[in-house]
Structure 1
Amino acid sequence: LGVFKFNYFSQQPVKKPSLSSHLQPLLSLILLFFLVSFVNITHAGPPRPACPPLLSGQPFIVFWGIKDSSCSNRLDFRSFGIEPEGRVAVFYEDTLGNYPYFVDKDNPVNGGLPQHTKLDLHIQKTQGDVETALPAPRYLGLGVVRWQEWAPQWSRRAGKQGLYQNATKKLLRRFFPDWTKQELERWSKASAQSVMTETLREVQRSRPKALWGMCPYPSCSNGSPAQTALSNYTGECPEEERSLNDQLLWLWRRSNAIYPLLTLEKIQVQYRNCLWSTTVAALFLSNQIREALRVASLGGSSDDLPVFPLVRSVYASTNTFLSLSDLVTTIGESAALGTVQICVYVCISQVLMCIIMIIKTSMTQECEELNLFTSSVLGPYVSNVTAASRLCSASLCQNRGRCVRLEQDKPTYLHLPSNSQDAADRVRSSSYKVTFFTHISLIHVFIQFSSSRLKWQTKRMMANITLI
C-alpha cells in the first residue's frame, strides 16, 4: 500500500473564519475514513515549497478546451468538475511569430533555420499573434509554445533533427569552411536559444499573468523498442538524456512552467492487445513525469516551477480515445507524483482535419462520440480523482499544499473507492461550502476534440486499481 507525503505551497492566503471552517474537521474525518480504507497514508516532512495554485480554491480541475458550441445536447461538464474553456492557449509552429522550419528538405518556411530568423520581425509578429489569440491583457491561464520541428541540441535525434543539422552545416560552412563540428553545433545552439528565449520574453511581457513554457521539454527518450523489450525494463531516463536536460538551464530559467509531452502511441503500437503494455506504459510515463519534476527544481527560483504534462487525447494509429487505464497512467500518475496539471489535447494536423470533417460530414456523430467518451470514461474518472485529491490535501496538508506519493515506484493513486465517491459527491453538492476544498495544487485537463471520427474504448483496470 502506498504512502503519501505533503508538499506545502510557498504562499498562503489568509481566510476569514466561516461556518464551513467549523465543519471542516468533521467532514474531513468522514471522507478520510473512505480514503484510508483504500491506501495507507502517513505524514512526512514537507519538501521544497511548491508554487501556489493557479486558481484559488480549485485543487484539481478540468478545463474544457473543445470548440464544441455547435454541438446540440452538450453535457453539463460541471457535474464532473470540468470548467468551461478559456484557460489554456496552445501555439504551434504556424500560429506564433515567424518560426523557422522545413515542410521537407526543399520547402523551408521563414528561412527554415533559426540562423535566418530576423528577430525584430519575429517578435513583432509574435506580439500580434498573442494579442489576437488572447485579447485580455490580464489573461490568467496556461501559455504553451508547442514547437517541435527542431531541438536546440544536436544530440536530440528525434523527428527531422537530422535535416536541420545538415542544412545548418551547409549554411555555416559557406562562411566558415574551417570550423569543426563542435563549433558548428555551438553556433547553431546559440541561434536556436536566441529564438526560443526572445519568444518567451515577448509572450511573458505581453501576457504577464499567464504561465509560459515550451513543449515538448524536457525529453526522456525512455521508450524505444530496445528499451521496453527488456525483461527488467524500469522506464528510467538514460543518464545522457538527464545531462542534456541539465544543459537546458537557460530554458528553465526563462520559463514560468514546464510542459513535458506524454504519449502512449509507440507503446500501444509495440504491445497492442498485450497485458504487458499496461505495465510498460506506467513505467514509461511515470519516469517522464519524474524527470519533468526534477528539472522544475533547476530554475533557480525559491519555488519549483509548476509541471503541466500534455497528453494526446487520441491514438493516431487506431483513431481511438484514451482508455480508462490510459487516464490512470497519465492523469492519475501525474496527480500522485505531485504535478500541477494535465493538458489533454490533439496536434494541429488533427485540428485541421476536424475542420475538414465538419465541412464534409455531419457533426452529429462526432458530438455523440465525444459525449459518450466524456460521460462514460473521462468524466467519472476526473470526478473521482478530484474528490480524492481534495480530501487528501485537507487531511494531510491542512489546505496548505498537495499530496505527493512518498514511494514513487509504488502503484498508489489518489483514488476513492467506489462506495466513497457518492459520499464525496454529497459533500460537494451540499449547502456548506467546506474550506477543505480550497488552496490545493491544481490538475487541469485540457481536452481538445480531435479530427475524423473517433471511437472511445474502455478497459478494465488492473487488480490493484479501484474500478470507478
Structure 2
Amino acid sequence: PACARGPGPVLVNRPFITIWNIPTERCAKYNVTLNLEVFDVLANDQQSFIGQDITLFYSDKLGRLPYYTAKGVPVNGGRHPNTSLQHQRLAVIDGEKWRPLWIRNWASMDIYRQKSEELVQQEHPQWPPEQVKETAKQQFEQSARAFMEQTLQLGATLRPDGYWGFYGFPHCYNNDFNSLPYTGKCPEVEQQRNKELWWLWESSRALYPSIYLPPHFNGTKKALAYVRHRVAEAFAVQRGVLDSGIPVLPYSQIAFDCTVNFLSQEDLVNTIGESAAQGAAGIVLWGSLNYSTSKEMCLRLKDYVEGPLGHYIVNVTASANLCSQSLCSGRGRCVRQENKQGFLHLDPFRFAIDLQAGKPWLVAQSLESIDDAYRLAEEFSCQCYDKWQGPRCD
C-alpha cells in the first residue's frame, strides 16, 4: 500500500520526471541532434555524464573507493575507505565492487571475505576458524557501513541540495529466472537483509534501484514481474525506515542490458510505466558510449527518441501531471491502488507531439481530460507531498 504522504517533486515541479544519464554529446559531432527537451526529458548541458541535473560517480572516479580487481589486486588498500566529492542535484554513487552485507559478497566478490579472514588470521594465528570468520565479518560490515555512511554524509555536507544515494540499492535478487512460473518476487531472506541495511536508507537522500532488463528477457513476458517487485522493494524500504519517505528513482535503460537492442513499447511500459504507476518521483535512463559510436548509431537513437521512447515519456509525464492536478490538487502524486493493474496513460490517439515546439509538450487533438481523470481515479490514489494531507491533498 502507498503511504498517505511522500516526498515532493524532484528537480522540477512535476510528479514524475525522466532524467537522461547517457553520454550522447558525441552525436553532435556527426550533426545528429537529439531533441530531448521536446519530450520533457531532463539532461545535463550537452547531454554529458556530469552536469547540473545528474552526476554518476564511478568507483574509479570517486576519490579513493577501496576495492579489488578481478585478479585480486587491491586498489586503494582494497578495504580501507577514504574519499572526497562534490555535486548538486541527483548525485548517484556507483560502488558495485563489493556489498555492505558480508553474506552477499558471493561469486567474484568472495575475495573480500577471503582477504578479511586472512587479515584477522594474521593478527590472531591461534584463533579457531569460526572465531576468525565471525570477527572478519564484524570488521568488514563495520568498515563498509562507516565508509558508505561517511561518503553520503560528506556528499550532503558539500552539496546539501543533492539527492545522494548508491546505485542499485535496494537490491531484490529476484534472479531465479528458471523457476516456473517466474513470479519476480524478492526472496524473503533478501527482504530481511535489506532491513538490516536500515542505516544506509537513513543516510540516503534518494533510492536508486536498478531495473535493467537482462537480454534473455527479450521476447518473454518476465519483465513486468521482474521490475514490479524490484520497485516495490524500494518502496518497502522507504516505508519501513522513513517518516515521509525519500524519492525513489529507478535506474533503467532504453535497451536490453549490454546491448543496443531498443526496448519495445511493451517493455517501456514495463519499466518507465511501472515505475510511475508505483509512485516513483522519476526514472533515470542510463546508457554507455555505445549509443554514440557512429553516425548510424546516433541516427538510430534519434529515430527511437523521436518515435516510441519520446512519445511514451510524454504520455506518462502528461498523465502523471493530469492525475496529480485532477485527483490530488497538484499537491501529491498518483499511486496505483493495491490489487489494481492500471498505468498512468492517456489515450495516445488523443494527442500529437509538436516537434517544432522547441519546448516540451503535447498538442491535444481532443483531449477529454475529464474522461481520463475519471478512469485514473478508479485505479489510483493520492500520495500527498510533505505537509499536505487528505484524500485530495487539500
- Short-chain TM bin: 0.7 to 0.9
Give the drift of 1:50.
Answer: 0.9
Offset from partner CA, 1:149-197 (integer Å, 9 cap, x none): 1001122145522121112111221113423422221111001111111
Q: Secondary structure at the match of 1:64?
A: strand
Counterparts of 2:253 and 2:108, CA distance in 1: 20
Shift of residue 67, structure 1, vs aligned partner: 3.9
C-alpha deviations, 1:58-100, integer Å up to 9, x for none? 3333333434243424133222122342311101110112011
Q: 1:70 to 1:285 in 2, by over 3 A?
A: same
Aligned residue among 313, 329, 334 for 2:270:
329
- Pick from 58, 62, 65 the counterpart of residue 14 of structure 2: 58
Secondary structure, aligned partner of 1:83? strand
Query: What corresponds to 1:149 in structure 2?
Result: 97
Alignment-mate amino acid for residue 143 of structure 1: A
Higher deviation after alignment, 250-259 or 50-59: 50-59
Letter in 2 for 1:251: L
Distance 2:72 2:192 in 1: 34
Q: Which residue of 2 aligns with 1:379?
A: 310
Output the CA distance in 1 between the equivalents of 2:330 and 2:72: 56
- Return the letter of the residue paired with 1:395: S
Contact 1:262-1:309 at 8 Å conserved across structures: yes
Matched, 1:311 2:252: yes
Decide which of 171, 190, 203 is 1:219's aligned counterpart.
171
Secondary structure in 1 matching 2:7: coil
Partner residue of 1:230? 180
Query: How has the CA–CA distance of structure 1 residues 60 and 421 changed in structure 2, closer, same or farther, with 3 Å as cutoff?
Result: farther
Q: Which residue of 1 aligns with 2:196?
A: 247
Query: Aligned equivalents of 2:30 and 2:241: distance in 1?
Result: 43
Question: SS state of the match for residue 100, structure 2?
Answer: coil
1:74 aligns with 2:33: yes
CA distance in 2: counterparts of 1:159 and 1:378, whole angstroms: 36
**C-alpha distance in 2 between matches for 1:56 and 1:317:** 31
* Pair 145,318 (structure 1): closer, same or farther in 2 beyond 3 Å: closer
* Number of the residue aligned with 1:18: none
Q: C-alpha displacement at 1:398, in angstroms?
A: 1.1
Aligned to 1:417: 347
State which of 284, 289, 310 in structure 1 corresponds to 2:231: 289
Q: Give the number of equivalent residue pairs.
A: 350
What residue is the counterpart of 2:61 in the other structure?
A: 95
Matched, 1:263 2:212: yes
Q: Which residue is 1:450 aligned to? A: none
- Give the letter aligned to residue 209 of structure 2: P
Give the stretch that moved more between structures: 53-62 or 144-153.
Answer: 53-62
TM-score by length of 1: 0.69
Distance 1:242 1:329, change over 3 A: same
- Corresponding position of 1:406: 337
CA shift digits 1:417-443 (9 cap, x unpaired): 122234982359x9xxxxx9xxx999x
Deviation at 1:393, TM superposition (A): 1.1
TM-score w.r.t. the length of structure 2 is 0.81
Q: Is the Cα contact below 8 Å between 2:4 and 2:384 reproduced in 1?
A: no
Work out the CA distance in 2 between the residues paired with 1:354 and 1:171. 44
- Which residue type is aligned with residue 398 of structure 1? S
Residue in 1 that maps onto 2:392: none
Distance 1:158 1:404 in 2: 36
**Alpha-carbon separation, structure 2, partners of 1:109 and 1:321:** 35
Q: 1:299 aligns with which of 235, 241, 244?
A: 241
Code of the aligned partner of 2:166: M
Q: Is 1:190 aligned to residue 142 of structure 2?
A: yes
Structure 1: any 5+ residue segments left out of the alignment?
Answer: 8-46, 358-362, 431-435, 443-468
State the shift of 1:213 in Å. Answer: 0.6
In structure 2, how many angstroms separate the alpha carbons of the residues matched to 1:441 and 1:426?
29
**Distance in structure 2 (CA, Å) of the matches to 1:418 and 1:379:** 12
RMSD: 2.8
Displacement of 1:384: 0.8
| CA contact 1:149–1:160 (8 Å) conserved in 2 | no
CA contact (8 A) 2:7 2:244 kept: yes
Displacement of 1:336 in angstroms is 0.4
In 2, Cα distance between equivalents of 1:253 and 1:314 = 32
SS in 1 for 2:10: coil
Is structure 2 residue 63 aligned with structure 1 residue 107?
no
1:400 positional shift = 1.0
In structure 2, the CA distance between the partners of 1:59 and 1:285, relative to structure 1 (3 Å rule), is same
- CA pair 73-222 structure 1, distance change in 2 beyond 3 A: closer
Deviation at 1:339, TM superposition (A): 1.0
Which runs of no fewer than 5 residues in structure 2 stay unpaired?
45-51, 354-360, 368-372, 374-382, 386-394
Q: Helix, strand or coil: the match of 2:91?
A: strand
